Each structure stands twice: as C-alpha cells, then as structure tokens.
Structure 1
Amino acid sequence: MEKGKQLGKWAAALVSVTLLAGVLSACSGGNDSSAEKRVLRIGVLYGSADNESYTRQQYTDTYEYTHKNIDIEIVSAIDYNDTRFETPDPNGVVKQPDPYEEMTKMLTGDNPVDVIIFGYDYLKRLTQDNMLKQLDPLIAQDKFDIADYVPTVIDGIKTAGDNNIYALTPSFSSSALYYNKSMFTEAGVDFPTDGMTWDQVFDLARLVSKGDGEERQFGLTMNRWGSDAYSDLMTYSAPLGLKKWDDKLEKMTVNEPGWQAVWEKIAGIYKDHISPTQEDMQAFYNKLNQPNGDGSYYYNPIGNDLFLNGRVAMTIGEYNYTNEIKTTMDNASKIKDFKPFEWDVVTPPTHAEAPGVGNVYLSDLMGINANAQNADDAWDFIKFTNSKEWAELKSRSMTELSARQEFIKPRDGLNFNIKAFTTLKPIPPQSVDLNKQYMENPRLYEAEQPAYNLFQEVLQGTKTVPEALAAWETEGNKILTDIKNNPTGSGVGIAKPGIRY
C-alpha cells in the first residue's frame, strides 16, 4: 500500500464522515457524550509515536469522532525507533525481535490491549494459543449481519480458526489475471477464462507469444514490471506449501518430485521466452531509452510497465492496477507511440493440487484480546469498522476492496470482471511458522541462497533440474549443519539480495 496516497484518501473520508456520523453512531449503539470516559487500547504490530497519526487516520479517528466517551490509545508491539538508531552489527547478522512474541507480550502484559489489528499470517497461531476471543457468539447475540461478506474473506478467516470466526476485516486486497484483448484477437486465440489452471495459462501464453529480440511480445509475466525467474518460481510455488527444509531444520527437502516439477515448469517458460528473461528485459529497456534525433531522451510516463506498453499479453496484478490502466487509457493521446487496447481480468491461475487458493491478502484483521480489559467497547469498535455503513465509506478507496460484496463495483465507468478479485481463498498457513524460524535462526536464509545461482545455471543449460536440486540439497545440508553449530556466526553462503521467502 502506498502510504502517501492512503493518507490522502482517509483525510478526504474524514471530511465526508460528518454526513454519516448519525448513521454510523446508530449502527454501533449511539454517542453518549455524558457517559464517563473509557479507554480503548488498540494494538498494532509495527509503529512508533511519530507515525501514530497514520494509524489513527487509518483505523480510529472516525470512531472517536462519533464516540465522545471513548479515548483510544494506540500501542505498537514493535517500535520502529527501537532499532532505527542502533549501530549495525559488523557481521551483518542481527537478531530481530520476534513479531509474534512481541504481540503476545502486548496481549498478556499488565496492561493488555483490547483490540489487536494484524495480518492473516498470525491468525491461526493466535487462535491456537487462545489469544483471541471467539466472535461467533457476539455476532449471533447482536444479530450482526455478515451474510453479504465476500465468501473468500469469511472462508479464509474460518480456515485459520478451526471453522470459527476470531477476527473480522473491513477490506482485503487480491490479484487477478489481466489480459490484453487486442493481442489475443490479433493472434486468433480465445480469451482467458475464470478458473484456469497454471498449465492452461502457460498454454495460452505460448500461443500469443511472437517476434524476436527487441520486438518480442511475451505471453505472461507474474507482475507488470517483469522480475527475475527465481522470484517467479517462489510466487508460483507458494500455494503448494512446499518446504525447503524439515521442521527441525536438520535437512533440506528440495530434492523431491514436487520441487522438480516447479523448477521444470518455470524454467520452461523462460527458456522458450514465454516470459521475458533478464536479457529480454534489457533489450526492452535499451529500445525504450533510445535518444531522440536531437540527443534528448523521450519521457515515457508509463515507464517499464510491460503490460501497458503492449509487450505482454497477460500479467498478474492487484485490484488498484485497474485505476492505473484507466488513467493511462484516458491520457493515451499524450503518450508517444502508445496504442490503446481493450482489456479485462479473470481469476488468477491456480494449481490442480491447490484448487481455489491464490493471492488474497487479509492485512487488517481485527480481533478482541482474550484478556481484554474493555471487551464490550472492543466489540463495538469492531462492529463499527465492519458495518455496512462504514463499508460504503471505505469502498471509495481504489487500493483495496470492501469485504462486503454490496460495495464491490467497478468505478468511473469501467466495465470489467470484478468478481475475478473475489473468488480465491488466501494461502493457508503452513504447519510451521516460517517467520518464527527465520527470527530464531538469523542465518537460515543462507540455506536458500544456493538456489538462485543454481536456477540460473538451469536457465543457461549448464545444469539439468535434477542436478541443480541435488546440488542445492548438498549445499543446503552443509549450511544447516553449520548454522546448528554456529547459529550467529558469519555465514558460508553467497549473498543474493532480494530473495523471497
């Protein structure tokens, strides 16, 4: 989320909220300014005193505006400033605070928070550790209407809560497969459809790819800017839940059929230039940056966006990309050599082994601390921020989608398959908390480092996939042994910035 843009949207929302104050107040029990002041403590994972205004604008100002008897305190589990001014470790190995451990301190300390705002990755663990109050009885008691919630949101919440609801969220973000209708029509290929598998999308991508060198048109990118092949491999494999090492961190688990199938598939679309390699991207950049006749360089307002530049037929993008495309099309006449095109979206491709699972993000989950000192106001706050009235106001945002289906509609005259963003479920949490593993073992990233260079060797044809995975297994096992014997010492791996976990 782009913080600057989001602040502007919420500032505008606060101006308009005066028109809705009466309705919003009514939906959560009224505004008794004569009642005794009460404190509602709301916890967030990361923050600091100097950026508290952002948290308040994002979550709490409107509630306080309509509830004069409530004072809200914002509490951060991890304060940015605690590490901001520290001298870097000379060995480059810094043990960061464990986010979950810090959250539990905030929930169980002498003065615990009442509400916790957190991301989906922590929901399963918080419920298993009995840190959250179950919301189902409160929803039933107050007849709080959740019937029109997007199924993917409620299903995702229940999946992590043993089929119970322990948190709610007013919004969510997700991705869809964008496609250039013009490129498909020119190639005589049928448009993509909802519910396609990765294999089906790869087959379509091959059919619409054409040309050579600087003129090459590609079938698919995992994002509109293009990326390195190893990052795409990690994105592609995420829903499959494949593990790189065993739960005890004693041996690598990469030299197995599941990983081999993933490596073969992604290597294939790069070797065949269905997706652009780094060399393909460089050729595109070189052409884009050719000087004009007078030696000056033409400014391209859409930059290196492969999809908008008409160089890729399909790309995966989040919901707010629809706004970027509309803005570009509206200003097409101002962009040199730009050719407007028709576009639409379908559901992102999924794996046959993990049907219905994809890139859905529930980053603003709100739950009640099981140890809350003010559980009644905590529930009132959650009802308020998840109400239909608040959803209508929230739906003005162009960066996220409302969790209530009623308010999910294309804006500004756009006409596209918006349901594509509301179909898939979040990737289920793994049995072991990967974030915790990395926090407790600062050098663990070294066991993944060999994979990057080995995958490049596969792309270059100097190693087969089985040979590369066997080498990764061997190198990774040595690193795991070294980490066990020397958990905080200097590593034996070769650093590769930007690797995804």
Structure 2
Amino acid sequence: MPENKSLSGKGRVFSRSTAIVLVFILLTSLLAACSKGDDNGSGADNRVLRIGFLYSSPDNEQYLRQQYTDSFELLNPDVEIQIVGAINYDDQRYEEYDPKKEQPDPYEKLKEMLTGKNPVDVLMIDLGNMKRLVKDNMLKQLDPYIQNSEFDITDIVPTVIDGIKDAGEGSLYGLAPTFSSSALYYNKALFTEAGVPFPTDGMQWNDLFTLAKRVTKGEGQERKFGLALSRYGGDPFYDTQNYAAPLRLKTWDDKGEKMTVDTPQWAKVWKDILPLYKEKIMPTQKDMYPEESAMEDGKRSFNPFQGDMFLSGRLAMTIGGYDYIQELERAKGAAEKNKNVTAIDWDVVTVPTFPEEPNVGGSIYINNLMTINAKASNSDDAWKFIEFNNSKEWAKLKSRSTYEMVSRISFLKPKEGTNFNIKAFYTLKPVPPSDTDISTLYQKLPNIWEVNQYGSQLFLEVIEGKKGVEEALKEWQTKGDALLQKMKKDPQASIHTMEGGGVSSVGVYR
C-alpha cells in the first residue's frame, strides 16, 4: 500500500507538471500568433495582399470580397486580403455638390495607389486605364509569370487575350476572369413570315440594314420593325455613337478644345443611320411607348413587355447583352402558364462589322482586369491571386452566372434547356480603348455633355428634313468649337451663357 501511495503521488506530480508544460506551450503559441497578427503581415507565415479598385467604400467592400477574394482567402489562410479604393464613395456621399470644387482625377488617384507609402499589389481596372498605366511603366508584364508557372491560357477566349494585348502594346499586363458582351438577337418567326433568310455570323452593316428593310412591314400599331441597335433603342443620336464605336471616330480632340465632326467619315455615319429612322425601319421612343395604345376602354392596358419591342414580337432584330437571355427565358416560362404571353423563338449571331475593322465589334467589354503593380511588395501572392481567379476551377464555379461570361472557353456553354449560337458573343475583338482620357475630361469640363446634346438636336432636325447632313455637322462643329473654347477659359461655362442662346436655337431646352 505505501508503495502504491508513493506511485500515486508521483503520478499526481507528473500530471501537474505535464499540465503546466501544456499550458506553457499553449500560451507560447497564442503569444506567437498574436505577435504575427500585430506585425501587419510581415511574418513569414502571415502575408498581406493589398488589392486596389478605382472605386470602393465600406458599403461595397463586402460585395468585392464575395466576388473576388473570399474563395482565395479560404484556400490561402496565411494571406490576409486588404481592399483599397482609389476613390471612396463616402467622401462625396454626404456633401452638397459644389460646381467650383475640383473633383478628384480618377487616373491620378490610381497612380497614387501604385506609388504611395503603402502601395497595392494587385490593381483591378478596365482596358483604358490599363493602357495608360502600361505607357507610364506602372504595371508588371504577366508573360514571365505565365511561362514560369506554366499557366495554361490556351483555353482563354482568343479575342479577350487579343484585346488585352492590343491595350498592352502586344504583351499581357493583365488577365480578366470574366467579360461582358453583346450579340445580334433575331426573331425567327418574323423572318419566316416575311420570307427573308435569317441573319448570319460575320455580316457587314450594309448587309444588315438591307435585311432589316426587307423584314419590316405593317402600319401603325401593327408595324413590325426590322432593327434596333439596343434593347432600349429609339435615340437616333445615341445610335450614331454606338454604330461608329468600332471606327473610333472622335467628337472632339484629346484635349477637348476643338470639334472633329465636320468630316466625310461622320457624314457617312449619319447618312447610314438617317434612312433607318426616316423609313421607320428602326422604332422611335414614341413607337416603343405609345400613349394611345396603352388605353383600352379608358383603362390602361397591361403589357409586361412595355418598352421591349423584341419581347413584344414587334422587332425582328436587336443588339442585346448576354444577360438578355435570362429575360427571354423568363418570358418563355411565363408563356407556358399564361396564354396571353407569346414566347419568342430566337437565336443570335455576331454583331455586324465594318470593312475597315473586319474583326472588331462594338460590344465586348473587359472591365475587371487583374494587374500587378510594378512596385508591388508582394508580387508572388499577387500572381497567385490572379492565377487562381483565372483558373479553370474558378471558371467552372462562375460559369453559372447569367450576367457576365467567363473567359474560359471550356465553360462557355448554353445553360441547360437553352440552345443558341453562344460563339456569337465571343468571336469579335473588343474596340481598342481610346487614347482620350474621357473620365478626366468630364471631370475638368462638367458641362461638355451639352456639346453632344447639341449634336443630338441637330440630328433630329436632319431626320425631320429641316437640315442636310453636311449643313448640320458644320453647324455642330462651329457651335461646338465656340463652347469648347469658352470652357477652356471657364470650365463651368454652359451653352446658356453663350451669345445668342446657343442650343436653344435648335430646341434642346424647349
């Protein structure tokens, strides 16, 4: 028994000693972890990756994390993501607008994020800003990272890669996991009824206009229109701007000091669009939102497709985004339950092109390019982040989106239950970004939009037969020059302050 007591006592001592050692180890580990947390990621096992966006705020940081960083952090617990915004929405949210207060220059703010005391590692931007930053040598070329890590980009949509290279002087300075695009939707039934062949991929604009004219028929509320250049069409001047986008024609020079519209190129653009409205091949806003037809027996009739002439069955062709498919499928589902709803039998082809730019469409947008700061302090994790978000695994998860398209061809397939020409959305190259810094120009000259408003009213007068195309463009050039010169001296200048009333002569403010 004494020996047993002795052994029991030693066991108790051993147990206490073991417990003390274990507590000491746990405390040491806890202190070490706290130390790593306090050194702001400078420890070898805890790293910080700063990701910059042009616009951000505490309100939308959660969205940005869900969209881009949460999955990466889950798989890389030793990396702490910090979201940084070049411009904080909240800085102006609660301020009364002061036209005399100078607004922040977006591009200068981007450069501050790249060169400041605590620069970002990854910068997410659009093609235009990437092009400017490449010229200013502020981004790292990704080609060496791609080669060293043997990262497969052969599966990425070629036109997306080509578009990024065009903006990067032939090299890859960014990768985009998704992109936005449009295609030409057409109503098969209207073409069949008119005995006209369906549109095809690779058409040129002149061929499309001829096709639109052939399929147009009927009068009044029964008229079937051939074409709209957007789902929300009916604005002739806006149509000329969209139509001319691949040609990269400018309204004014890069400095916003002189107009550039009195040219044969702009005259041809106006003359191309003009007959489509004069001959009612394209619907106006009045056609899309008729007042009288909305009333039946003194009551407003219900139309779930009000303003959408394609879904209403009155428009043969329209240019729409990839997200429009969701609207068409919803209508199809409603038609199965509601006899008053007719489903559209549709398909898509590529947006038409110009002979001068045979492979360029005006409807592909790459706005979430992931780039690496030339002065990144954590470029290894920056590439790891870009590699992950542009991987096939990531694309597989995101391919269920109905708004943006993933850049991996392997996962670009029609959703289950649909069958359409999905290649139409990614066959053409995006329009190369302009050298003109539009955002900064609008910051410096907040009323420069009035110049386009003036052009809009002049084009309406051309449609009404009050002016000829060349006459209207010459007037736009002259009056626009005068306003731009006035804005050069006074950035707050407006057409209202010009002698003779300026735009009021053509009815912009009637």
Fold-level match, TM-score > 0.5?
yes
Q: Does structure 2 retain, via aligned residues, the 8 Å contact 1:93–1:490?
A: no
Instruction: Tell me the distance in 1 between the aligned counterparts of 2:133 and 2:383.
Output: 18
Matched, 1:73 2:82: yes
Q: Does structure 1 retain, via aligned residues, the 8 Å contact 2:288–2:309?
A: no
Instruction: Tell me the distance in 2 between the aligned counterparts of 1:230 and 1:332.
Output: 35
Which amino acid is the alignment partner of residue 201 of structure 2? D
Which amino acid is the alignment partner of residue 173 of structure 2? Y
Matched, 1:218 2:199: no
What are the equivalent positions in structure 2 for 1:452-491 lying under 5 Å apart?
452-491=456-495
Deviation at 1:93, TM superposition (A): 6.3
| Alignment correspondent of 1:182 | 189
Instruction: Tell me the distance in 1 between the aligned counterparts of 2:224 and 2:100.
Output: 43
Matched, 1:320 2:327: no
Decide whether aligned partners of structure 1 residues 230 and 78 sit closer, same or farther in structure 2, where only a CA change above 3 A counts: same
- Summarize deviations over 1:425-446 as a string: whole Å, max 9, x none: 1111223322232223333333
Deviation at 1:469, TM superposition (A): 0.6
Q: Which runs of 5+ in 1 are unaligned?
A: 1-33
- Summarize deviations over 1:111-158 as a string: whole Å, max 9, x none: 000001111221211111111110000100010000111011100010
Q: Does structure 2 retain, via aligned residues, the 8 Å contact 1:217–1:311?
A: yes
Larger mean CA deviation between 475-484 and 158-167 belongs to 475-484
Note the aligned Cα RMSD (angstroms): 1.9
Moved over 6 A (4+): none
Decide whether aligned partners of structure 1 residues 54 and 173 sit closer, same or farther in structure 2, where only a CA change above 3 A counts: same
Which amino acid is the alignment partner of residue 203 of structure 1? T
Deviation at 1:290, TM superposition (A): 2.4
Decide whether aligned partners of structure 1 residues 186 and 308 sit closer, same or farther in structure 2, where only a CA change above 3 A counts: same
Which amino acid is the alignment partner of residue 45 of structure 1? L
- Summarize deviations over 1:372-416 as a string: whole Å, max 9, x none: 111111010000111111110111111111101000000122111
Which amino acid is the alignment partner of residue 485 of structure 1? K
| Alignment correspondent of 2:127 | 120
Matched, 1:339 2:342: yes
Instruction: Tell me the distance in 1 between the aligned counterparts of 2:241 and 2:178.
Output: 26
**Matching residue within 25, 37, 45 for 1:36:** 45
Q: Does structure 1 retain, via aligned residues, the 8 Å contact 2:114–2:373?
A: yes
Decide whether aligned partners of structure 1 residues 490 and 223 sit closer, same or farther in structure 2, where only a CA change above 3 A counts: closer
SS at match of 1:331: helix
Instruction: Tell me the distance in 2 between the aligned counterparts of 1:442 and 1:225.
Output: 26
Q: Which runs of 5+ in 2 are unaligned?
A: 1-42
Q: Does structure 1 retain, via aligned residues, the 8 Å contact 2:334–2:341?
A: no
TM-score, with structure 2 as normaliser: 0.86
Instruction: Tell me the distance in 2 between the aligned counterparts of 1:336 and 1:451.
Output: 45
**Matching residue within 397, 401, 420 for 2:401:** 397
Matched, 1:420 2:427: no
Deviation at 1:82, TM superposition (A): 0.8
Decide whether aligned partners of structure 1 residues 335 and 302 sit closer, same or farther in structure 2, where only a CA change above 3 A counts: farther
Q: Does structure 2 retain, via aligned residues, the 8 Å contact 1:133–1:369?
A: yes
Instruction: Tell me the distance in 1 between the aligned counterparts of 2:194 and 2:102.
Output: 53
Instruction: Tell me the distance in 2 between the aligned counterparts of 1:277 and 1:98.
Output: 37
| Alignment correspondent of 1:153 | 160
- Which of 1 and 2 has greater Rg? 2
Instruction: Tell me the distance in 2 between the aligned counterparts of 1:94 and 1:205.
Output: 49
Instruction: Tell me the distance in 2 between the aligned counterparts of 1:248 and 1:119.
Output: 21
SS at match of 1:78: strand
Instruction: Tell me the distance in 1 between the aligned counterparts of 2:60 and 2:344.
Output: 41
**Matching residue within 259, 263, 270 for 1:263:** 270
Matched, 1:382 2:389: no
- Summarize deviations over 1:34-87 as a string: whole Å, max 9, x none: 962111100011110122101111110111111111111000001001111111
Larger mean CA deviation between 49-58 and 248-257 belongs to 248-257
Which amino acid is the alignment partner of residue 484 of structure 1? K
What are the equivalent positions in structure 2 for 1:227-246 lying under 5 Å apart?
227-246=234-253
Matched, 1:96 2:91: no
Which amino acid is the alignment partner of residue 427 of structure 1? V
Instruction: Tell me the distance in 1 between the aligned counterparts of 2:418 and 2:452.
Output: 43
Matched, 1:135 2:135: no
| Alignment correspondent of 2:22 | none
Q: Does structure 2 retain, via aligned residues, the 8 Å contact 1:94–1:442?
A: no
Deviation at 1:230, TM superposition (A): 1.0
Instruction: Tell me the distance in 1 between the aligned counterparts of 2:241 and 2:272.
Output: 12
Instruction: Tell me the distance in 2 between the aligned counterparts of 1:62 and 1:448.
Output: 44
| Alignment correspondent of 1:438 | 442
Instruction: Tell me the distance in 1 between the aligned counterparts of 2:101 and 2:465.
Output: 37
SS at match of 1:219: coil
